[in-house]
Amino acid sequence: MIRAYTITSGKGGVGKTTITVNLGISLALLGRETYILDADIGMANMALVLGMDEIPVTLHEVLAGKADIEDAIYDGPGGVKVVPSGISLQGFQQADPDKLRDVMHRLVDRCEYLLIDAPSGISKEGVVPLSVADEVILVVNPELASMADALKTKILCEVMGGRVYGAILNRAGLEHTEIRSNSVEDVLGVRVIDVVPEDANVRRAAAYKNPCVLKYPKTDATRAFKRIAAQISGVVYEDSVGEPKEESFVDRLARSVFR
């Protein structure tokens, strides 16, 4: 059974943390014991997204040998367990990336699913999550720079013996200039797991420090996160049951990019 997924990208700003948090909560809402780990110890922002920036112990302290991993596990929204990194530069300077591997192994033994929010690009801190996880999920925006950097990350992962589960096309719209799903598969050589549409509700939820799947449970992006969670956990995704409704934006988007 695949239990540990590293969520990564070639460049920053593509939405790794947003996907990690919302996907983790979606898995927890399905009744799966799920942990999310912020392994981006240099540019951590999972704590900020979840409103946990005042917590006393983070992954930084664990990697510095000042605390045990047990002290850095917190109850998150929707039943997900959160292991955040700190946001201080001093904490980052004291953290030892070489201890990441042991921390990740210990967490995997505690849960059904561990989602690792990895650093962007190619760095010492970013290499360990690629090699430790059962499989890697690439997050790609529909633009050339994101695609090119994701390809480098995929190649690095394979050189290290890692396996890529697939790619999530994030923040996709309907503009004709955007790269489509079939192009992503051709360039990266991996399947597109799903498409998360550009959705203003994701930014609104972040402003409230309340993840989209909880703040806006019926929005298009939330539906995408829940579809991915269902696919990973091997259950059938069931949309809300009700009166027939008009084709939504995400339905039009999926029909456009997968045609």
Percent of the chain with pLDDT over 70: 90
CA dihedral defined by 230, 231, 234, 236, rounded to 10 degrees?
A: 60
Q: How far apart are CA 12 and CA 187, in angstroms?
A: 19
pTM of the model: 0.89
Instruction: Kindly tell me the sign of the dihedral angle through the C-alpha atoms of 79, 129, 16, 63.
Output: positive
In DSSP terms, which residues pair with 121 in a beta bridge?
A: none
Q: How far apart are CA 218 and CA 184, in angstroms?
A: 27
The domain that holds 49 is classified in CATH as: 3.40.50.300
pLDDT at residue number 2: 66
pLDDT, tens only, 127-162: 888 888 999 999 999 999 999 999 999 999 999 889
pLDDT at residue number 243: 34
| Per-residue pLDDT at 36 exceeds 60 | yes
200 phi, psi to nearest 5 deg: -60, -25
Average pLDDT on 183-210 reads 94
Q: Do 228 and 115 touch, CB atoms closer than 8 A?
A: no
| Per-residue pLDDT at 249 exceeds 60 | no
Q: How far apart are CA 32 and CA 28, in angstroms?
A: 5
pLDDT band at residue 219, thresholds of 50, 70 and 90? very high
Counting the structural domains of the chain, the total is 1
Residue reference for tokens 């948090």:
21
Average the pLDDT over each of 14-28, 89-103, 218-232 and give the range with the smallest value.
89-103
Average pLDDT on 40-51 reads 93
- The bridge status of strand 113-117 relative to strand 34-38 is parallel
Average pLDDT on 30-56 reads 94
Residue reference for tokens 């498409």:
195
Mean pLDDT of the chain: 89
pLDDT band at residue 241, thresholds of 50, 70 and 90? very low
Range of the domain at 107: 4-257
pLDDT at residue number 98: 87
pLDDT at residue number 157: 92
6 phi, psi to nearest 5 deg: -95, 125
SS (H, E, C) the chain: CCCEEEEECCCCCCCHHHHHHHHHHHHHHCCCCEEEEECCCCCCCHHHHCCCCCCCCCHHHHHCCCCCHHHHCEECHHHCEEECCCCCHHHHHHCCHHHHHHHHHHHHCCCCEEEEECCCCCCHHHHHHHHHCCEEEEEECCCHHHHHHHHHHHHHHHHCCCCEEEEEEEEECCCCCCCCHHHHHHHHCCCEEEEEECCHHHHHHHHCCCCHHHHCCCCHHHHHHHHHHHHHHCCCCCCCCCCCCCCCHHHHHHHHHCC
| Per-residue pLDDT at 206 exceeds 60 | yes
pLDDT, tens only, 155-181: 999 998 899 999 999 999 867 657 888
pLDDT, tens only, 78-125: 999 999 999 888 888 999 988 998 999 899 989 999 999 999 877 767
Residue reference for tokens 């950097």:
149
**Assigned token pair, 163:** 């396996």
| Per-residue pLDDT at 250 exceeds 70 | no
Residue 43: other Cβ atoms inside 10 A: 14
